[in-house]
């Protein structure tokens, strides 16, 4: 039997996290001259526009029923970097917009945790804690300096053109490299400790620890 309450506690924060992350990329790209995402209706908080069959539905459902937690991703927002007013420089801001939106959402969920605890809403408190963790996880993971992750785009924008071109050649293999790193324990030894450190610092800041 499906525990609907637990499903909602995980699904709602995950859906918001991946939706806002992608919309942020499109919004900043539009501000800087590339309107591809805007013309395709992707600069929106409507989650339906960002749903990816595998990343938003199949993988989260599989993880929920097999591992007891939910994780996923949205359909990537199209960005034509050549249409940006200053492609190399503006690529940094488009890339960093996604992780920054996750840090902002983590902050908003932190406020929700504070309110929920003081009003005695355990359901909302649990959801908000998941919201904090999933947003910090997405932000830190996407900041890994590996194309096509956002961190890879940031590194590429900062490198000299020749080095950036060579670095970008890693992109077709980026997913396989990431999976290999995760298999070797990067998630447990690097990503998760950083997430827990930021989360502990945030809770301490608002007096929840």
Domain total of the chain: 1
Is 106's pLDDT higher than 70?
yes
- Show the domain range for 85: 4-205
Q: Annotate 18-69 with DSSP letters as a single string.
A: HHHHHHHHHHHHHHTT--HHHHTT-SSS-GGGG--IIIIIIHHHHHHHHHS-
pTM: 0.89
User: Each residue of 161-193: pLDDT tens digit?
Assistant: 999 999 999 999 988 888 788 778 887 888 889
Render pLDDT for 79-91 as a digit per residue (tens, 0 to 9): 998 999 999 999 9
What positions carry a catalytic annotation?
A: 22
Average of per-residue pLDDT across 64-92: 81
Cα–Cα distance for residue pair 47/56, rounded to 1 Å: 10
């Amino acid at each position: 039997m499906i525990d609907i309450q637990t499903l909602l506690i995980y699904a709602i924060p995950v859906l918001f996290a991946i939706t806002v992350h992608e919309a942020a990329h499109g919004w900043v790209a539009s501000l800087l001259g590339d309107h591809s995402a805007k013309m395709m209706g992707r600069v929106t908080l409507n989650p339906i526009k960002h749903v990816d069959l595998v990343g938003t539905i199949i993988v989260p459902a599989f993880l929920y029923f097999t591992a007891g937690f939910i994780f996923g991703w949205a359909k990537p927002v199209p960005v034509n970097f050549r249409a940006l007013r200053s492609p190399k420089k503006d690529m940094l801001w488009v890339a960093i917009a996604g992780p920054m939106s996750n840090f902002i959402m983590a902050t908003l969920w932190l406020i929700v945790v504070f309110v929920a605890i003081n009003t005695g809403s355990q359901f909302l408190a649990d959801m908000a804690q998941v919201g904090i963790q999933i947003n910090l996880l997405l932000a830190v993971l996407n900041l890994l300096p590996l194309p096509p992750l956002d961190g890879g785009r940031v590194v590429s924008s900062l490198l000299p053109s020749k080095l950036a071109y060579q670095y970008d050649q890693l992109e077709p293999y980026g997913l396989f490299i990431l999976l290999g790193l995760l298999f070797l324990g990067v998630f447990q030894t690097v990503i998760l400790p950083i997430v827990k450190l930021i989360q502990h610092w945030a809770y301490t800041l608002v007096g929840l620890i």
